[in-house]
Each structure stands twice: as structure tokens, then as C-alpha cells.
Chains A and B, each alone.
Chain A
Amino acid sequence: AQSVAQPEDQVNVAEGNPLTVKCTYSVSGNPYLFWYVQYPNRGLQFLLKYITGDNLVKGSYGFEAEFNKSQTSFHLKKPSALVSDSALYFCAVRADTGGFKTIFGAGTRLFVKA
């Protein structure tokens, strides 16, 4: 069975500091991994996806994610946080073994303080 864990309900960081939002996953087969961001009363916006062979993938708005196969993790990172990055972030996984079901984590709220 597929699962995604985002161990932190909230991450607090000062503007200009680096940020990390953690995600671990469990899936049969190889994973398709994604990060999405959600602002209040809006749908989810795609940030980035894992590309096979690239352990560090770059996405929108200066975000990047680090894939670690041995730790089954796909942590979201940004070198310098902005107040406008404050939002709800979701990690998602889908197995490559067939089926179309994408599993989302419970989300991590990022709060960037000026």
C-alpha cells in the first residue's frame, strides 16, 4: 500500500533563512513523487516532481527537492525563505506499478516570519 508521511504539522523559519519541509513515502515499485502548495481557499498548485536519476530536482519559485532512495524521502528545500512562501505544502506519491491513485500527505504549514 502507498503512504506518505509529513512528520511536521508546522515549520517556522525566519525570512532569508533556508527551509526544509520533510516527506517520507512508502510505495510498491518505483515512486512518482510530487510537491504541491495550497493557499487559503484555493486548489493545489504544482511545485515540482521527481525525475528518475536526478536526486536534486528544481521547481517553481526557487524550490527544490532532494530525493533519497535509501531513506525513502523527498524533502522540499529552499535556500532563502520569503514571507510569501507561507502556505500549506503537500507531498504526494504514486506508484509506477499501475493504477492512477495519488496519495497525498496530511500537509505541512510553513510560516515565514519577517
Chain B
Amino acid sequence: DTGVSQNPRHKITKRGQNVTFRCDPISEHNRLYWYRQTLGQGPEFLTYFQNEAQLEKSRLLSDRFSAERPKGSFSTLEIQRTEQGDSAMYLCASSFSGEGNQPQHFGDGTRLSIL
């Protein structure tokens, strides 16, 4: 178990640019989640994958945000035309499927700063 890996750890970009983050989940896990966390807040759910299928999306995920998990392994989260309000920590988590009380294993996140 090498844990959930997220890259890059930090991303600084100018407003209006596009950014893409990558998440490599624990290999045995078929569930993958994306969250956004701002300072002083808990993680906010963005989207969820079961294998390669994106099964749920938050209304927080505007049309500038897109997530993929093409082969049911790693996932990418892209933000187009970034805005100041997109500055946050983006967290990825994975879990086993099965009962709903499977705990999620989190990566260390990608911190996005918009200049």
C-alpha cells in the first residue's frame, strides 16, 4: 500500500490559465473522490468515480471543471480559465467498494494559487 499520490503538490498560475492535477489512487481501490478544501473549512465534495464511471458531481463543479478516470486507475481534474476563487487545496481520496462505511484514504493534496 503506497498510498494515494497527487501531483503536483503545489501549482501557481495566472488567472485565466488552465491547470490539470493528477491523482493515483491505491491500486486495489475502485472508488475515487475529488474534494476542494479552503482555509478553515472541511473538504467539499466535488465528484466521485466508481472505476471509470463518474457517478456523481457536485453543483460546485462548474462547467470550467472536468474530471476523468479513463481506465479506472488514475484520475485527472482540470480547471479551465482559472479564477481567483479557485485558489484552494484539491484533495483526492480512494476507497474500496462495498459497504458505505468504507473509509477514504486521502492524498496530500495539490495546493492551487491563482495570481
Which residues in A have some Cβ–Cβ distance to B below 8 Å? 4, 32, 34, 36, 41-46, 49-51, 90, 92, 94, 96, 99-107
Q: Which residues of B contact A49 (CB under 8 A)?
A: 101, 103
CB distance from A22 to the nearest CB of B (A): 15
Which residues in B have some Cβ–Cβ distance to A below 8 Å? 4, 6, 31, 33, 35, 40-45, 48, 50, 55-56, 58, 91, 93, 100-101, 103-109, 111
**Would you call A43 and B42 a contact (CB within 8 A)?**
no
5 A-B pairs with C-beta separation under 8 A: A34-B104, A43-B6, A49-B101, A92-B42, A107-B40
**Would you call B101 and A32 a contact (CB within 8 A)?**
yes
**Would you call B108 and A106 a contact (CB within 8 A)?**
no
Most buried by A among B33, B35, B55, B103: B103
Q: Which residue of B lies closest to A48 (CB)?
A: B103
